Amino acid sequence: MQEIQLKRPSLGDYKEYKVMSTSFTIDGTTRTHYSWYPNHEAGRFERPCRTSYRISIHESYRKNGRVKKKQCVVGSISYYSLIEFGLYDSIDTGLKHASELFHADYDTLYDLVENKMNPILERIRQEFQQTEEYKVVQERDALQKRHAEAKRAFEKKYGVDEYEYCYNIFGELMEPEYLKQIQAQYRAQQAYSRSYQDYQRNTYSSYSGGSYQSIGCKTYTDDEKRILKKCYKKLSMAFHPDLNPGSDTTEEMQMINKLKEEWGI
């Protein structure tokens, strides 16, 4: 492993993000969506360390009494690439080539490089965690996490993915009137749901009772009996033994005849 110095420093994450609003009108109704984007005017963090690590694998062997070397450059990894992308993504392609060149096991070579780079990687992580960029990005990630949680909670409660049309990423209410509309729709849906459930319970209590006997107690009008007769004929034709050769429909016919008695037709 060889340390080399790059000619110029690299740039890191953006120093600031800002809230952006996008408005559009459909059928006379204007809606505004709130998101956030990098503030290009504020610039990006400058990363002062220019160190890059050139990784190569060597093999010494003897030929005709002379010591010779075989070498394969696995790749070069910058200081900050180790933090952002890790070791594997940076050396995978080069290590596969080295594995073929030296006829060596890929995993064995990877372990060799990893053991060499791990102390360096740990030192780089500790150094980077002391920088302003790291602290700002950590705060930004925490903000995004809170925003995502609030967005999921909003959708779970109201059943609509409209959080970003009411709030910005900081949780500040930007569109109170639209939020009132969503809440009103939610209350109306809740009221309808309760009303429908009450109707279902009352219907079940009045007409079901859980037994055929309670149905049989009902007095049917002449028009209702004509409809029930048609139902009886349809069922009888569907399950009559003569029309179902090879099938035992005794139980079905017993049930149909029982219904006929209970219907009083």
Give me the sign of the Cα torsion angle 106, 111, 117, 122: positive
Mean pLDDT of the region 209-219: 50
Mean pLDDT of the region 130-155: 97
- 89 — pLDDT class (breaks 50, 70, 90): confident
Contact 21, 32 (CB under 8 A): yes
Mean pLDDT of the region 154-165: 96
Please name the amino acid found at residue 115.
N
Residues 6+ apart with CB under 8 A from 19: 34, 35, 36, 168, 169, 170
**Which residue in 182, 184, 178 sits closest to 33, CA to CA?**
178
Q: Using H for helix, E for strand and C for coil, what is the string for the chain? A: CEEEECCCCEEEEECCEEEEEEEEEECCEEEEEEEEEECHHHCEEEECCCEEEEEEEEEEEEECCEEEEEEEEEEEEEHHHHHHCHHHHHHHHHHHHHHHHHCCCHHHHHHHHHHHHHHHHHHHHHHHCCCHHHHHHHHHHHHHHHHHHHHHHHHHHHCCCCHHHCECCCCCECCHHHHHHHHHHHHHHHHHHHHHHHHHHHHHHHHHCCCHHHHHCCCCCHHHHHHHHHHHHHHHHHHCHHHCCCCCCHHHHHHHHHHHHHHCC
Which neighbouring-strand residues pair with 51? 5
Contact 249, 235 (CB under 8 A): no
Q: What is the pLDDT of residue 204?
A: 60
Contact 23, 31 (CB under 8 A): yes
129: exposed, middle or buried (Cβ count in 10 Å: 0-12, 13-18, 19+): exposed
Residues 6+ apart with CB under 8 A from 213: 262
Contact 121, 89 (CB under 8 A): no
pLDDT per residue as tens digits for the range 168-208: 999 999 999 999 999 999 898 888 777 767 766 766 665 55
Q: What is the pLDDT of residue 172?
A: 97
Q: What is the pLDDT of residue 164?
A: 97
Mean pLDDT of the region 57-82: 88
Q: How far is CA 5 from CA 2, 51, 121, 146, 252, in A?
A: 10, 5, 17, 40, 89
Residue 211 has pLDDT above 50, yes or no: no
pTM for this prediction:
0.63
Q: What is the mean pLDDT of the chain?
A: 88
pLDDT per residue as tens digits for the range 14-23: 999 999 999 9
Q: What is the pLDDT of residue 41?
A: 94
Q: What is the pLDDT of residue 205?
A: 60
Q: What is the pLDDT of residue 150?
A: 98
Q: What is the pLDDT of residue 213?
A: 46
Residues 6+ apart with CB under 8 A from 130: none
Q: What is the pLDDT of residue 198?
A: 72
pLDDT per residue as tens digits for the range 220-251: 788 788 888 888 888 887 787 777 777 788 88
